[in-house]
C-alpha cells in the first residue's frame, strides 16, 4: 500500500498517519525523516545532503526525489509506505511519477480555513513540560495557567492568527494544482485513487472513513 496523506496545518493529518501506519504495518516517511535517515546511513546521497544542510541551503527537489527512491527501497517499505510532507507541489508530484514511483491512494483531509484558524489559534502551550491545551476544546482549570504547575501558558508564534493565515495561503497555492494533477492521473490511468474526506468529524470517524477507503470498501468518486 502506497499512499499520500494530505491536509492543511491543523487538519489532524499527523494523528491519522499514525493510525494508518499502525494498522497496515507501513512506515510514515516524511521529508525530515528521509533527510535524517540518509545522513545517519552515510550513503553518498546522505553525505551530499549533510553538506548542503551544513551550508544552510535548501535541498533541491531532485535530491529529495532521489531520497524518496532510496528510502522506499528499505526493507520496512516492502509492504508500502505513507508519504508525509511530500510531494508538496505540482513539480514534485510530476517528478515522483516520472521516476516511476507508483502511488495507489491520495487522501485529503479537508477542513475549512476558519475551522483551522480556530483550532490553531486556540492552542496554548506550557514551555516547561510540553503540555498543550486549547481554550475551547481542552481548557486549563484556570485560564492561561498550567494545571500542574500554575505557571503561565503561552501561544506559540506558529499558532498566531497572522501566521496561520499565511501558512494556509501557501498550502492552498501549492496543493490545489497537485490535487488537480492526481485527479487527472486517476481519470487517465486509474491510479492513484483520490479521496477528499471531511476532517471536521471526530477523530475516530475520520479514521474509520480512511480505513474503509484503504480496505477497499469505498470506491473512488468519478
Q: If DSSP states are collapsed to H, E and C, what string results for the chain?
A: CEEEEEECCCCCHHHHHHHHHHHHCCCEEEHHHHHHHHHHHCCHHHHHHHHHHHCCCCCCHHHHHHHHHHHCCCHHHCCCEEEECCCCCHHHHHHHHHCCCCCCEEEEEECCHHHHHHHHHCEEECCCCCCEEECCCECCCCCCECCCCCCECECCHHHCHHHHHHHHHHHHHHHHHHHHHHHHHHHHHCCCEEEEEECCCCHHHHHHHHHHHHCCCCCCCC
Residue among 36, 69, 88, 200 flagged as catalytic: 88
* End-to-end C-alpha distance for the chain, whole angstroms: 21
Instruction: State yes or no: is 123 an active-site residue.
Output: yes
The CATH number of the domain holding residue 95 is 3.40.50.300
Q: How many structural domains does the chain have?
A: 1
Q: What is the pLDDT of residue 222?
A: 47
Kindly give, in sequence order, each residue whose CB lies less than 8 Å from that of residue 168, ignoring residues fewer than 6 positions away: 8, 9, 113, 116, 117
Residue of 218 and 130 predicted with greater confidence: 130
Residue among 23, 36, 167, 200 flagged as catalytic: 167
Instruction: State yes or no: is 119 an active-site residue.
Output: no
Q: Which three cell numbers stand for residue 189?
A: 490511468
For the segment 163-171, the average pLDDT, to the nearest whole number, is 91
Residue 183 within a domain: yes
**Residue-number span of the structural domain to which 116 is assigned:** 2-26+79-214
Q: Which three cell numbers stand for residue 80?
A: 508500502
At residue 220, does pLDDT exceed 70?
no
Residue 131 within a domain: yes
Q: What is the pLDDT of residue 217?
A: 57
Residue among 78, 156, 176, 184 flagged as catalytic: 156
Residue 221 within a domain: no
At residue 172, does pLDDT exceed 60?
yes
Rg (CA), the chain: 19
pLDDT digits (tens, 9 = 90+) for 64-123: 888 888 888 889 999 999 998 789 889 889 988 988 888 999 999 999 999 999 999 999
Residue among 13, 71, 119, 124 flagged as catalytic: 13
Residue 127 within a domain: yes
Q: What is the pLDDT of residue 219?
A: 56
For the segment 121-140, the average pLDDT, to the nearest whole number, is 95
Q: What is the pLDDT of residue 187?
A: 87
Q: How many degrees, rounded to 5, is the angle at CA 8 between CA 4 and CA 144?
A: 135
Biggest CA–CA distance in the chain, Å, is: 59
d(CA 27, CA 81): 5
Residue 208 within a domain: yes
Instruction: State yes or no: is 50 an active-site residue.
Output: no
Residue 85 within a domain: yes
Instruction: State yes or no: is 88 an active-site residue.
Output: yes
Residue of 68 and 22 predicted with greater confidence: 22
Prediction pTM value: 0.81
d(CA 180, CA 194): 10
Q: Which three cell numbers stand for residue 180?
A: 488537480
Amino acid at each position: 500500500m502506497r499512499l499520500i496523506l494530505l491536509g492543511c496545518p491543523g487538519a489532524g493529518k499527523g494523528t491519522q498517519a499514525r493510525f494508518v501506519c499502525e494498522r497496515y504495518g507501513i512506515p510514515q516517511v516524511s521529508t525530515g525523516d528521509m533527510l535524517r535517515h540518509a545522513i545517519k546511513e552515510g550513503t553518498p546521497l546522505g553525505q551530499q545532503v549533510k553538506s548542503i544542510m551544513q551550508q544552510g541551503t535548501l535541498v533541491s527537489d531532485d535530491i529529495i526525489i532521489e531520497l524518496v527512491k532510496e528510502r522506499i527501497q528499505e526493507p520496512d517499505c516492502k509492504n508500502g509506505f505513507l508519504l508525509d510532507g511530500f510531494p508538496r507541489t505540482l513539480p514534485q508530484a510530476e517528478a515522483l511519477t516520472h521516476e516511476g514511483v507508483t502511488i495507489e491512494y491520495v487522501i485529503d483531509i479537508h477542513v475549512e480555513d476558519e475551522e483551522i484558524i480556530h483550532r490553531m489559534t486556540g492552542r496554548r502551550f506550557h514551555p516547561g513540560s510540553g503540555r498543550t491545551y486549547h481554550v475551547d476544546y481542552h481548557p486549563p482549570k484556570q485560564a492561561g495557567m498550567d494545571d500542574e504547575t500554575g505557571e503561565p501558558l503561552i501561544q506559540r508564534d506558529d499558532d498566531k492568527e497572522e501566521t496561520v493565515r499565511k501558512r494556509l495561503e501557501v498550502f492552498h497555492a501549492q496543493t490545489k494544482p497537485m490535487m488537480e494533477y492526481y485527479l487527472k492521473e486517476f481519470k487517465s490511468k486509474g491510479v492513484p485513487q483520490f479521496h477528499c474526506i471531511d476532517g471536521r468529524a471526530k477523530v475516530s470517524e475520520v479514521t474509520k472513513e480512511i480505513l474503509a477507503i484503504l480496505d477497499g470498501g469505498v470506491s473512488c468518486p468519478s
